[in-house]
């Protein structure tokens, strides 16, 4: 969701995210619901079926997302396939303050339109 937003592309539909990540809809919808409740994501698009950042990417940190997902009353995280990039898993907890804007800059794409 952050990458297309940073590149000025349209907000992706929930189904596109599910297909891209190869994660069942039940799981992605549970996570997106948590992120919407935490105001980290918002619904967008003509039909409200697209996902967009709920705040500036400079304000959304890895820690914010993890905190929202860890508040896991329905144990959604237990059903996730192991798909977290290894370079994110290797980061110590103090790196949870890294914003999504910073992550995208490290990847070489924040603010660039392709």
Cα–Cα distance, 16 to 22 (Å, whole number): 10
* CATH class for the region spanning 2-107: mainly alpha
Question: So what's the pLDDT on residue 39?
Answer: 95
Mean pLDDT, each 10-residue run in order, the chain (114 residues): 92 92 88 93 93 95 88 62 56 72 76 48
Question: So what's the pLDDT on residue 114?
Answer: 42
* Burial (0-12, 13-18, 19+ Cβ within 10 Å), 58: exposed
**What residue spans define the domains of the chain?**
2-107
Question: So what's the pLDDT on residue 74?
Answer: 61
User: The whole model's pTM is what?
Assistant: 0.68
Tokens matching residue 97: 């303050």
Question: So what's the pLDDT on residue 75?
Answer: 62
């Amino acid at each position: 969701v952050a990458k297309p937003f940073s590149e000025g592309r349209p907000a992706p539909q929930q189904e596109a995210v599910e297909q891209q990540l190869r994660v069942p809809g039940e799981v992605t919808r549970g996570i997106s619901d948590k992120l919407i409740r935490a105001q980290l994501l918002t619904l967008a698009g003509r039909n409200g079926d697209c996902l967009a950042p709920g705040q500036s990417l400079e304000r959304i940190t890895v820690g914010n997302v993890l905190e929202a997902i860890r508040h896991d009353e329905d144990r959604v995280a237990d059903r996730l396939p192991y798909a977290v990039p290894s370079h994110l898993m290797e980061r110590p907890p103090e790196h949870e303050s890294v914003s999504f804007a910073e992550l995208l800059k490290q990847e070489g794409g924040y603010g660039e339109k392709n």
